[in-house]
Amino acid sequence: MSDVYSMPLSVTSQFYFCPMPLRLDTYSGCTNNCLYCFANNSMQKYMNTDGDVKLATLHDDEFVKASTLQHVKKYFDIAFEGAPNNFKEQEGCAIEALRRRIPIHFGGMSDPFQPKEKKSRVTLEVLKLLKSYNYPVVLSTKCKLIMEPEYREIIDDYENFGLQVSLIDTRQEVMDLIEPGVGKNSVQDRLDILETYKHKWTAIRIQPVIINLNEPIIPDLLQKCKDRDVNHAVVEGLKFMNSNKTANIVISKAFKKITGESFDLAAHYKAIGGKVSGNDIELPTWRKNVYVKKFKKVCKDLGITYGAADNDLRLEGETPCCCGNEQMPGYDNVCKHNIGYAVFRAKAKGVPITYDLIKDEWFWKGDFRMIISQDKLSRKLGRRATRDDSNIPLMECFMKQWNNNGKNSPCQHCSVKKRQKLDEDGNKTYIFKDDGEMKELLKPINQKTLFSF
């Protein structure tokens, strides 16, 4: 098995609703080891399941694979320099997206500035490449290495560059428990990153909101961001991955260390009406709405735009792109062929949600690999199935989800319901719930606060 991460650029499965689903990662794996990380959980890094749960041993960067400049450059050579295209599926779709200049989210699955970057410098070289094309990029990090002079020299006058800093609390003792691998990248360091790059477009990523833990602290965090001229805030509640129950145990034990009280978050989610969404269990819409209303008002008072990253409440954000970047110069080519744009446009026009609202927007023509592992292929498609058997055209994927009345359809938004009507092409139309329906949906239920653990 190669020690090099060979497929650093691809279109993610969020293309149904995300305007920026083009992901670039210079590393596979991340030693930040944040307890809440979806990539962390999906890699099953919490290996112990006994009563005294500990994190899987992560010595330095042993499990992290670095990509190389050449592996990233190959995509740009194909897209812009006439090199032959050997990519297919998600990676092949990335070529078309590059030619379209769809903005890249740099750091979607791992931190580009984690400790291994000090040795490999692959992020440094890739930034030089991206800047040479003045390619629109939004980079996410929580590591102070980005303030080193060689990175500042690139970023300071990089015109089409936006920066998101991940920080969910202002208390260092909380961060030390919740993000045990981040180490010397303190709360103050991350605020210093925002101060260092305040001349650029910057955003704070408050992902996740952990109810009853960092929830009360976030207004203070937003004020500190305002003091550093932050433009935008992206906010989303904590989700648990159903297949990894240990993540809940670890987070709940950290909660007890911080507050002195036992609090089983997953049990609490279920007690107050939590819902299963794909592989996740997440807060019910009414409970998310509590913090969304509060933080949205705080942001408005501070002059920071608000991005609602909780998909069911996406309409509470100021634009269909929760990252907020389509308002930046050079970022007008975000993908608008998605349910977010359809719902926002219908709301603005006061009309039903129809596919006609987005059908003329650009969309990919390639295939998407729906099943990754051979084990899953064998279970779903038979022992002789190959990866090619799970390839489906992206347009077919999109239209199937549009018409399914569920996840990745307009009904993903809590304010939308299906309508018993098809358009002239046989696609479903949707309508918005009335005020009474929304009031009932957002009505709090009696909730228990603490659970024995």
pLDDT band at 205 (very low <50, low <70, confident <90, very high): very high
pTM of the model: 0.90
For the stretch 341-399, pLDDT in tens is 999 999 999 999 999 999 999 998 887 765 455 555 555 555 554 555 567 888 988 99
139 strand-pairing partners: 106, 163
**Sign of the dihedral through C-alpha 132, 134, 137, 143:** positive
Q: Is 324 left (phi over 0), alpha (psi -120 to 50) or beta?
A: left
Phi–psi pair at 8, nearest 5 degrees: -80, -15
Percentage helix, strand, coil, to 5, in the chain?
Answer: 40, 15, 45
- With a cut of 80, say whether residue 248 has pLDDT above it: no
Where do the domains of the chain lie?
9-339, 340-441
Higher pLDDT, 57 or 356: 356
Nearest CA-CA partner of 158 in 130, 126, 123, 193: 130
Mean pLDDT of the chain: 87
Q: Which two tokens stand for residue 232?
A: 């935008």
What is the b/e burial string over 75-96, where b = at least 16 CB atoms within 10 angstroms of the residue's CB? bbebbeeeeeeebebbbbbbbb
Over residues 246-260, the mean pLDDT reads 81
Burial of 141 (0-12, 13-18, 19+ CB in 10 A): buried
pLDDT tens per residue across span 84-126: 888 877 788 899 899 999 999 999 889 999 999 999 999 999 9
Looking at per-residue pLDDT, the higher value among 298 and 447 belongs to: 298
Is the pLDDT score of 418 beyond 90? no
Reply yes or no on whether the pLDDT at 332 is more than 90. Answer: no
* Per-residue pLDDT tens digits for 141-154: 999 999 999 999 99
End-to-end CA separation in angstroms for the chain? 41
- Whether 48 shows a pLDDT value over 70: the answer reads no
What is the per-residue pLDDT for 50?
A: 41
DSSP conformation class of 322: T
Nearest to 103 by CA among 172, 46, 22, 43: 22
What was the pLDDT predicted at 76?
97
As a whole-number percent, the residues of the chain with pLDDT over 70 amount to 87
Helix (H) and strand (E) counts in the chain:
16, 17
In this predicted model, which residue has the larger pLDDT, 293 or 60? 293
CATH superfamily of 9-339: Aldolase class I (3.20.20.70)
Worst-scoring range by mean pLDDT, 3-7, 67-71, 162-166, 387-391?
Answer: 387-391
Rounded-to-integer distance, Cα 144 and Cα 184, Å: 9
Asked which of 232-236, 278-282, 311-315, 325-329 is least confident by mean pLDDT, the reply is 325-329
